[in-house]
Amino acid sequence: MFHKTLVALAFASLAAPALAAVSADEAKQLGTTLTPLGAEKAANKEGTIPEYTGGLKEIPASYKKGSGIRPSPFEAEKPRLVVDGKNAAQQADKLTEGTKELLKRYPNSMRLDVYPTQRVIALPAKVLANTAKNAVGTKSVNGGLGVENMLAGIPFPIPKTGNEAMWNHLVRYPGVAYVQKYENWNVDSAGVPTLATAGTLTNEFPLFDPKRPDGAAKESDPFWKIKVLYTGPARRAGEALMVIDSVNPIVQGRRAWQYLPGQRRVKLAPDLSYDTPNAGTAGTSTYSDAFVFNGAMDRFDWKLVGKKEMYVPYNGYKLMYAKDLKPALTPNHVNPDFMRWELHRVWVVEATLKPGQRDLYSKRVYFLDEDSWAALAADQYDAKGQLYRSTLANLTYSYDANAVNIDNYTFHDFSSGSYSVVGASGMSDGIRYADPLPELQWSSESLAGSGIR
C-alpha cells in the first residue's frame, strides 16, 4: 500500500490521473441538470418519474415532534400499478432478479403494489455544499478501497467507478447519530416466524458531527460507528457488539468487539465482517449483507454498469414502523400489503469475486438510489453462478432529520426458501435522532461497563 500526502493531493487536479476527481465542467452539472447529489433532475420520458424539486417540502401533520415513529407522508395514495405473476414478464426489465424470482416462485401470493414515484430526499444544506466540493476534490485511493480528501458529504456525486458509487452508499448521510430499538425476524421455509434478535442499536456517522472541525477526513478517521446491545432472544440478552469502520480500510481495518455476558468480558470480535454468518440474523445472512452492503470492498472487482429505471421499495413507512409486525410475516415473503414500491432511476453496480479470493458470493449486483445513493436492492450469486440471496431495502426518509434510512430490509435466501425482515422498529419507539455519544462511550472497555449481566 502507498499513501498520498496532502501535498501530493494539491497537485492532483493538475496531473489529472485516470481515477482522478471529476473535471470542473462536469461538476458544474451539479445543481443544474443534476441534483446537488448527482441524480438526474429531469422527469423521465413517460412521466412516471417526476422532476426533482428539492425533496419533501412538508412534514406530515400526523407526525408528533420528537417521536421516533414516522407516519407516511403518502397515507392516502393508492397504487397506480400492480405487478404480479401475470404481468411480470412484461415488466421484467424493471425488476431485480430477486423480485423476479419471488414472482416466479409464488405467483399466487407475491405482488408489487407500485405507487406514484415520490422523490422525497432532501439532505441538509451543509451536506449538499460539501458534496459539491467533494465532486472535484475527493479521490478514491488504493484501487478504490479507500477515500481521500472527503468532506462531510457524498464523496462522488459523479462517480467514475463502481467503488466510488459504493462509497456513496457507505457514506449516504443517515444522520449524525441515532438510537433504534429493532427486531430481526426469520421466517423459515415452512412459514414459521422466529425472532432472530432484538436489540438497541446506536449508529453514528462521525464525519457529519457538527462539532467536528471542518476539513477532509484522514485515512484512519472513522466514518461509521455502531453499537448493538441485544435484548432478545432471552438467552442472548446482555450481549453487545461494537464496530468502527474508517475511511480507508487498508490503512485502518475494521475494529470490532463483542461483550459476552457468559464471560463477563469484552473480547475482540473475530471477523465480524465479510461473509461470516451474521449472528444478528441467526446466520441467514452475512455481516457484509447488513445495510445491504457494508465493510471493505477488497474481495471483489466493482464495475459501474450504468443506470436503469426499476421498481424498488421506497417510502416504506408501513413496514418500517409497523406497530405489530406479525401480520407482515407471511410465508415465503413479506405480506405485499405492507410493501410500497416505486419506479426510480438506480445505478447498477456489479461486483465479481477477484480471482484468488474466497467468499460466499461469486457475484453481487447492487442497485443504488440516484436521489440518495443508498443501496435499495441487491442480487447475490453463489459459486455456481446461480441466484442465491437477494436484499430489498425498505427506504424511508426521516423528514424531521433530513436523513435517509435503509435499516429495515427484507433478505431472501433462495436455496433454503427462508427470508428475514431486519431492522423493523415500529414495535417500540422507532428511530430517535440524538446527539453523538461522548468519545469515552466508544472505547472497547465501555462495552463491559454497561454490561449488567
Partner 1 sequence: MHSVFASPVARRKATVIALAALFCAPALAFEIDVGNPDIEMRWDNTLRYNLGGRAQKQNPAILLAPNNDDGDRNFSNGSLVTNRLDILSEFDFVWQKSYGARVSAALWYDNAYGSLDNTFAATANTLVNGLPAPGVLSPYSKRYLKGPSGEWLDAFGFANWEMLGMQWNVKAGQHTVYWGDSLLLGGAVHGVSYAQNSLDLMKGFGTPGAEAKELFRPKGGITLQTQATKDLSIAGQWFYNWQAVRVPESGSYLTASDAAQFGADSLVFGANPFAAAFPGAPAFTRFWNQQAVAPSRYSASLGDWGISARYSPDWLDGTLGVYFRNATDILPQTVLIPGFASLPAATCTAIGGIPVTPTACIINRNATSVADLTQKGKVGEYRTAYGDNIHILGVTLSKSIGGVSVGAEFSYRQNMPLLSDPVQALPTPLVNAAAGQISINDLSANGTPGALGDTYHGILNGLWIMSKTPFFDSASFAAELTWMHWIKVTQNAAVFKGRDSYTGIDKPSRDFIGLAFNITPTWFQVWPGVDLLAPISYSRGMNGNAAVFLGGNENAGNYAVGIAADIYSKYRVDLKYTGYMGDYSTNPATGAATTFNGVFGSLSDRGWVSLTFKTTF
Backbone φ/ψ region at 66: left (φ over 0), alpha (ψ -120 to 50), beta:
left
Of residues 13 and 332, the one with the C-beta less far from partner 1: 332
**Interface with partner 1 includes 44 (CB under 8 A)?**
no
Q: What's the closest the beta carbon of residue 254 comes to partner 1, in angstroms?
A: 9
Using CB under 8 A as the binding rule, whether residue 107 contacts partner 1 is answered as: no
Residue 330 makes contact with partner 1 by CB under 8 A: no
Of 92, 125, 192, 305, the one binding partner 1 by CB under 8 A: 192
The stretch among 109-117, 122-130, 186-194, 302-310 that binds partner 1 (CB under 8 A) is 186-194
Binder among 189, 354, 357, 435 for partner 1 (CB under 8 A):
189
Compute the least distance from the CB of residue 249 to partner 1, in Å.
13
284 part of the interface to partner 1, by CB under 8 A = yes
Which residue among 51, 235, 354, 357 contacts partner 1 (CB under 8 A)? 235
With binding defined as CB under 8 A, does residue 440 bind partner 1? yes
Closer residue to partner 1, CB minimum distance, 131 or 197: 197
338 — phi, psi (to 5°)? Answer: -95, -5
Beta strands 396-398; 418-424: pairing state: unpaired
Residue 354 CB, nearest approach to partner 1 (Å) = 17
Burial zone of 250 (CB within 10 Å; 0-12 exposed, 13-18 middle, 19+ buried)? middle
Q: What angle do CA 134, 132, 159 make, to 5 degrees?
A: 60
Judged by CB under 8 A, the stretch of 279-287, 347-355, 363-371, 398-406 that binds partner 1 is: 279-287
Let me know: does 348 contact 365? Beta carbons within 8 Å: yes
By CB under 8 A, is residue 386 in contact with partner 1?
no
Cell numbers 423521465 correspond to what residue? Answer: 44
Closest distance to partner 1 from the beta carbon of 418 (Å): 6
Stretch that binds partner 1, among 129-137, 170-178, 257-265, 400-408 (CB under 8 A): 257-265
Cβ–Cβ under 8 Å, residues 142 and 1: yes
Instruction: Please work out the total of residues on this chain that contact partner 1, with binding judged by CB under 8 A.
Output: 53
Q: Which of 262, 355, 356, 385 binds partner 1 (CB under 8 A)?
A: 262
Least distance from partner 1 to the Cβ atom of residue 322, Å: 16
Of 13 and 194, the one with the shorter C-beta distance to partner 1 is: 194
Q: What's the closest the beta carbon of residue 378 comes to partner 1, in angstroms?
A: 18
How many residues make up the chain in this entry? 453
Report, in Å, the least distance between residue 275 CB and partner 1: 5
Nearer to partner 1, 360 or 431 (CB): 360
Residues 350-369 that bind partner 1 (CB under 8 A): 360
Q: Does 323 engage in binding with partner 1 (CB under 8 A)?
A: no
Contact with partner 1 (CB under 8 A) among 141, 147, 198, 393: 198
Among residues 37, 151, 166, 269, the one that binds partner 1 under rule CB under 8 A: 269
Closer to partner 1 by Cβ: residue 15 or 452:
452
189-211 as b/e: b if 16+ CB within 10 A: eeeebeebbbbebbbbbbbbeee
Q: Determine the distance from the C-alpha atom of residue 293 to the mean position of all C-alpha atoms in its chain, rounded to a whole number.
A: 6
Q: Can residue 443 be called a binding residue for partner 1 (CB under 8 A)?
A: yes
Position 301 contacts partner 1 (CB under 8 A): no
Query: How far is CA 288 from each of CA 83, 164, 285, 417, 420, rounded to the nearest angstrom?
Result: 30, 17, 8, 20, 15
Q: Does 271 bind partner 1 (CB under 8 A)?
A: yes
Contact status: 435 vs partner 1 (CB under 8 A): no
261 binds partner 1 (CB under 8 A): yes
- d(CA 229, CA 291) in angstroms, rounded, equals 17
Binding stretches for partner 1 (CB under 8 A): 186, 188-190, 192, 194-196, 198, 220, 231-235, 237, 255-256, 261-265, 267-271, 274-277, 282-284, 286, 360, 413, 416, 418, 439-446, 448-450, 452-453
